[in-house]
Amino acid sequence: MIATTEFSKRDLEQLEAAGIGISVQEAEQQLELLSQPPDFLELAKPCTTRDGIVQLNDEALQTLIQKHRESVVEGRWTKFVPASGAASRMFVVKKEEDKRKLCQRWQDLAFADALADFLGQTNDVDYEGLEAAMLGGLGLDKVPKGLIPFHRYDDSSRVPFEEHLLEASTSFCDRDKKCSVHFTVSEEHQGRFEELLKEVQDRHPDVTFDVTFSIQKPSTNTLALSESGPVRKNNGSLVLRPGGHGALIENVEDVNADCVFIKNIDNVTHESQAAENGKWIEALCGYLVSFQAQIHEHLQRLDSDRSESSIAAAEQFVSDAFPGQSIQIDATDAERYKRVYGILNRPVRICGMVQNEGEPGGGPFWQRHEDGSLSVQIVESVEVNDEDKQQAAIASDATHFNPVFMALGLRDHRGDAFSLADYIDTDRYILNQKVVEDVDATILERPGLWNGSMGKWNSVFVEVPIAVFNPVKSVIDLLRPAHQPT
């Protein structure tokens, strides 16, 4: 480990300052990780609908939707939306074909009226003029993605923030017509979200939007490392960078919810096409509460009855629900009890998986662990050794990808909240190379939120239709049917 003397007194004051709160031990560990690339994961095989991904028929779908509706009236659910992303890259259009398309259809954009103030009422525009209007005129690249107008309606437009609230009002209202939604935002823009919340609430007085906000904690920031040591600014202070979306696992825990549903801020649809999306949200949530209830039943039985029959019943459930887990047949009852209890007593997540259609996103795979057991994991390409032909072949055989469409169960069978830090696979940190403060540096990202940060959760993957995945990575995506009125 790098010695404490690596840091000066001024460094320690900076790290431990109010509002940052990074301990010396944490900083030392970061430097150690920065100097040691993580091991690649060992993929056993891709998850498929025959092996690792559940398919739901219409009857099961309706049953699960009903399960969700029974749970949601009890106020068990919070929707969690990572929304701190800026829209800067959204307005970078490189392909000539896309530029032409944008020039032809700019009037279909939700902010077309504002653009017209700069362009005039004409279809005859060139891309340079359109880009100047979007960036220099409207300054859209400086607006949080959650506040960019995405969808046109008869007499208004809506931004993703409002669409998420209205989606929550459909799928997550309790018996008092209150829906709980949490957004992670950047500190500088939180006030704008709060102002819009008041406007949306005024427009929908029949629903109470119980909305909370948080920022990515400065204590989760990470150091960068160059050949000469920790990267510093011109004034000599340490460079501290956001630690990636994996840092948000602390925000998820701080919501203190029973159950949480996660979607990204840019994955919304026009209201005219939202029904299919809502159906699958409720199905996955129903799957979560139903599956979690079965786990809790076994744990409650084991709490009061450690007989061989109770242990065997729990082991059978584990074998059926998590077929990659090995059960020690020759172990003592005490050893079997400890193992099966440890497997079951974890946070639970039900993750939607979409068939591959060339969209970006991590994939579902069976990971082989050192003890020989297998577990289903969401794996990013950077975690796979693409120079190993066998591993590269497994990765290329993926049939599905992760749309970030997942239901989480955050409490145990006694109703106590799990300490989510205990279920992070800390070996799944990510290193990247980047120019920082004009020097070549290695940067550190914490294990991804739905990757290593949930690596030790009990996970089930469920196939969902492509209709639930409508992200807006580029302004061109706003011209897709899912973002246009029908």
Residue 60 has pLDDT above 70, yes or no: yes
Q: In the block, which residue shows the tokens 């998986």?
A: 353
Longest dimension (CA), the chain: 80
Mean pLDDT of 76-99: 94
Over range 432-448, report the average pLDDT: 97
* pLDDT tens digits, one per residue of 204-217: 999 999 999 999 99
Angle between helices 190-203 and 160-171 (to 10 degrees): 50
pLDDT given for residue 128 in this prediction? 93
Task: Judge whether residue 28 has pLDDT over 90.
Answer: yes
- Per residue in 240-254, pLDDT tens? 999 999 999 999 999
pLDDT at 121: 63
**Averaged pLDDT of the chain:** 95
Average pLDDT score over residue span 370-391: 95
Q: What is the share, in percent, of the chain residues with pLDDT greater than 90?
A: 90
Place of tokens 């940190």: 429
Provide mean pLDDT across the span 102-129. Answer: 89
Q: What is the pTM of this model?
A: 0.95
Tokens (6 digits) for 56: 């739901």
Q: How far is CA 25 from CA 4, 39, 240, 249, 438, in A?
A: 8, 22, 15, 20, 27
Residue 386 predicted with pLDDT over 90: yes
Q: For the chain, how far is it from start to end, CA to CA, in angstroms?
A: 60
Q: Is the pLDDT score of 335 beyond 90?
A: yes
pLDDT at 4 over 80: no
**Cβ proximity of 86 and 80 under 8 Å:** no
